[in-house]
Every structure is written in structure tokens, then in C-alpha cells.
Homo-oligomer: A and B are copies of this chain.
Amino acid sequence: MNIKQLKKQEIREKVLTIDTMNPRVKNIEYAVRGPILLRAMELERELKQGVKKPFTEIIRANIGDAHAMGQKPITFLRQVLALCLYPDLLSSSSFPEDAKKRAERILQACEGHSVGAYSASPGIHVIREDVARYIEQRDGGIPSSPENIFLSTGASQAIVTVLKLLVASRTGVMIPIPQYPLYSATLADLNAVQINYYLDEEHQWALDMAELKRALEQARNSCEPRVLCVINPGNPTGQVLSRENIESVIRFAFEEHLFLLADEVYQDNVYAEGSKFHSFKKVLMEMGSPYSEQLELASFHSCSKGYMGECGFRGGYTEVVNMDPAVQQQMLKLMSVMLCPPVPGQALMNMVVNPPQPGEPSYQQFQKEKKTVLADLMEKALLTEKIFNQQPGIRCNPVQGAMYSFPQIQLPPKALERAKELGQAADMFFCMQLLEETGICVVPGSGFGQKEGTYHFRMTLLPPMEKLKTLLNKLSQFYVKFTQQYS
């Protein structure tokens, strides 16, 4: 009997340990739900148990979760869903006729007329048709085919699926820095090479073409760049790309032989005067040949953001443009292994792309609810920028779109030293201290990536106005105290 066998008999080592597990998984980081959130949840439990803290509640400004921050669901969406899930309600007089009509149409399209049946793997066909029509309207009539629409489990799953198709050996994928950490996490999981291109903080987080070129040229030494990811409106940075900028990006992707991924989940969230959302698809098509016929593009949308904020349903879709039909078949196969996206999320997406029309009973209320949410977000975007910029040491670019501010903070040398001793990123140290003293939960910039020597945090716009004001002021005060303490 050798030593290993002997040991096995005494205490069997675990098969799966941190040393033997999948190393790619170990390399994944996901800051939005990382150590800060885990600590916040601990603090919440302690508060419940009656432990005294310098605050009475945790304010979760770490994640774009509108309903968690008190935003109410859009009535029409939930009415149709209730009708779909419990069709006995179709005979109830307390639901408007247009909601019933939508529900009946969805149920007709479900196998066995039940949302409990699997759908086709790319989603219910009628809903894919509605998505295509919605895109056509959004893009001023440029055609969209339901066959190129894949519904998904949130936008996240669609992004992972397209990246998975694209990554072969030594594949390089360009992502913005700062980025939404789904990208870096997925690239670690797929063992792809992450190519960072830096957004220009000095110019309102602009996407600079020279920087794209620099990043690509440099990367060509060590990998085969094949994909360019753009997030517009930006997460966490909130910039909204101009049409000219999008055109340049498209020309660049075309010339450099890159597949373009356009993360457009914040397309309804544009606040700044003069800013407008332009879809990559529309610009691409309007640029004409050869771009419109040849550039490969996947664009993503979600029902978690916008005015609906229905994160829990995990609804989303991707539209693919100019994708090789044989690859598209492979994508279908890959999605079929997971059977289908959640059907309630598909149904919800259906109402987002096919909302009540003028003249229908729910139209007025729907429009009012939608506009209220978006106007409120716009006001909070302006307020956030204003309050942060009143505080010396904090500098916040205009929040042109999306749901976050991403201010830069100056940290004093002693804070940097202390963080180093603790083995923490300096902004992680700041955010942890903020959490411990104020209950405010924001995510350090290091979780998204940032230029070396700069420090940031991401905070959502989502707390209700009064709470947001308090929060912004508390945060500024804490910042003053923190910098004094470590000066």
C-alpha cells in the first residue's frame, strides 16, 4: 500500500478542493456581487439581530436593481403576466381588454396554451416576431428578421453564448475599461485573452479611436484579436456614444476584421441634453455597403433595465446581423442544451417590445408610468453629478445614460498605504469603510477596471429621490472624514 492509498483510508482527501478545482473558475472575479455585497448582507443580519451600528439600514446602491430600491412594476406588464400564469383571470372584469388580448395571444403561441411548457430554444416565435418589429420601428424601418432574434435568460446569457461561439485558441476580445464585469468573468471562464481599451475619463468617458488602435496593435503580439465589445450607454461609465463615434467604431471593426458585440441594454436610459441613443444596427445599415452586408454584429437587450427594471424575470434577447448561417445553427444548438429561456421572462419581453398602443385602454396609464420612471431617473442623474462635483476630491462626469455614476475619488497617501497593508485595492478599502460606517453599499472601481493610480466607485441612481439626496450627502461627508483621517 502506497502513501496515497494509506492516506485515503485514514482521511479521504476531498475530491474537489480549491487546489484541484477548475482553475478558470478560480480566476473569475465579479465585483458587483463580490466581498462588498457579502459584507453588506452580514451587516443586514446583524442589524436584524439588534446589533448596534452607526446606521439603521443598508442602502444597496451596488446593483442596477430598480424594484429592490422601491420602483413599482409597470401595471400593464404585471397584468398580462398574471393573466398568462392563471388564465382563469381572463374572465375577470378587473383586467383591461388589451391586457387580456395580449395574454391570449401569448398563450396561443405556447405549446398546450401553457407558459409551463418549454418554448422553442430561441424563444416563442410570435415574440421573436414582435421583437423584430420593435427593432424595425426603433431603427426607422430598417428590416429585422425574427430568425435573427434569440430570446435569452437575461442579456447575460446571450452575451456568454455569443462569446462562447467566438472563442477558440488564443482569441483576443477587446473590452472597455472600465467595463461591466460580466465581460472579464466570461473571458476568464472561456480562457480568452482580455484586451483592454481605456475610455477617456477626461473627455466624458469617450471611446477614443486612437486608443482602440493602440490596444489592438499591442494585443496582436500575444493573441488573435477577433471581437470588439462596446457598451452603449456605458456601464459603469454612463456615456452615450455619438453617431459619428459609432460610425468610426464600425469602420474600425470592419477594417480590423473584428466581430462586434453591442451591449445596448440601457437603450431606454438616456438623460443628457443633446444625447441620443443610436443602435449599432441602424448606423451599420445606414452606412451601406460593404459594412451593412458584411460586418458581423450581435446586439443585446434586456427587460431588467430601462423603465421596467424587471430583473427577477431574467428576460433578454440578442439580434445577430450578418452571422454565418452555419454558425447561427450552432448557436441554436448551444441554446437548446439549456432547453429554453424562462417563459415568463419571454412574455415580459413581449410587452416591452409590444406595449399598449394609442387608443387602447391601458395606453395612458402605461405611458404615464413609463415617463414617470424615466423622468425620475433623469433628475437623479443630474442631481448625482451636481452633488458629487460640489465636493473637492470627488469628480463626476455627466451621467448621460444608463443607471450609474462612476465618480473619481482622490485618496490620501496614508489610505493607500493602509489598503496595501490589508492587501486590498485602495478603493475597495474606501468602499468597505464607507459600508461599515454608513451602511451605504457601492462597488469599488477596481471591480470594473480603471487607469492605474485612479480610484472610483460605482453607485446606482436608483434609490428614491429623498434617500438618494441623503445618501449623496452622507457619502460626501464620509469622504471628508476619511481623507482627514488618513492625511
Contact = CB atoms under 8 A, between A and B. Distances in A.
Nearest to A303: B116
A71 B313 CA distance: 24
A296 B344 CA distance: 35
Given A18-B327, A337-B186, A344 B313 contact: yes
Interface string A126-158: 000000000000000000000000000110110
Interface in A449-482: none
Nearest to A15: B259
B333 A111 contact: no
Contacts of A333: 25, 28, 30, 33-34
Task: Give the size range of A's interface with the partner.
Answer: 35 or more
Please give the count of copies of this chain that the complex contains: 2
A350 to B, nearest CB: 14
A68 B112 contact: yes
Contacts of A32: 336
A86 B311 CA distance: 16
B182 A337 contact: yes
Interface in A1-58: 8, 11-18, 20-23, 25-26, 28, 30, 32-34, 41
A166 B20 CA distance: 8
Given A121-B33, A344-B342, A110 B168 contact: no
A12 B153 contact: no
B290 A17 contact: no
Contacts of A16: 165-166, 226, 259, 296, 323-324, 327
Contacts of A441: none
A277 interface: no
B17 A326 contact: yes
Nearest to A68: B111
A116 B82 contact: no
Given A8-B257, A313-B344, 7 more contacts: A22-B164, A30-B333, A82-B85, A116-B311, A117-B311, A156-B337, A312-B343
28 contacts: A14-B294, A15-B258, A16-B165, A16-B259, A17-B324, A22-B167, A25-B165, A25-B330, A25-B333, A26-B330, A30-B336, A30-B337, A33-B333, A34-B336, A67-B114, A79-B86, A82-B89, A89-B89, A116-B309, A116-B313, A117-B311, A118-B311, A153-B338, A181-B337, A185-B337, A186-B337, A189-B337, A313-B344
